[in-house]
Amino acid sequence: MNAERHGTTVDASVSGLESILAGTLRRVQPPRGMAARLRARLQFPSRQEIAARLRDWRRLFVVFGGVMSGMLVVLTVARALFHLFVRRETL
C-alpha cells in the first residue's frame, strides 16, 4: 500500500514537471538552408569506394586492432581509477 502511494506521488510530480517544462520551453526553428548546408558539408563515399575499403583487409585489420587497443586502454584506466577510489573509501 505504501509503495502504491509512493508511485502515484512520483507520477504526479513527473507529470507536473513535464507540464511546467512544456509551458516554459519553446520550439526553435533552425535557420533556413541549414539542412542543405549540412548535406553539402557531409561527404558520403560512393558504394564502389566503400566496397574497395572493405576489400582492403590490411586496413581493416589495423583499424580493428586500433579500436581494440583503445578499448583496453580505456578499461584499464577506468579499472585503476575505480580501485584507487574504492581503496581510499575503505581505509
Mean pLDDT by 10-residue block, N- to C-terminus, for the chain (91 residues)?
Answer: 56 84 80 87 87 85 95 96 78 58
Of the chain, the end-to-end C-alpha distance in Å amounts to 41
* pLDDT score, position 70: 97
Output the CA–CA distances (angstroms, integers) from residue 7 to 15, 16, 19, in the order listed.
12, 14, 18
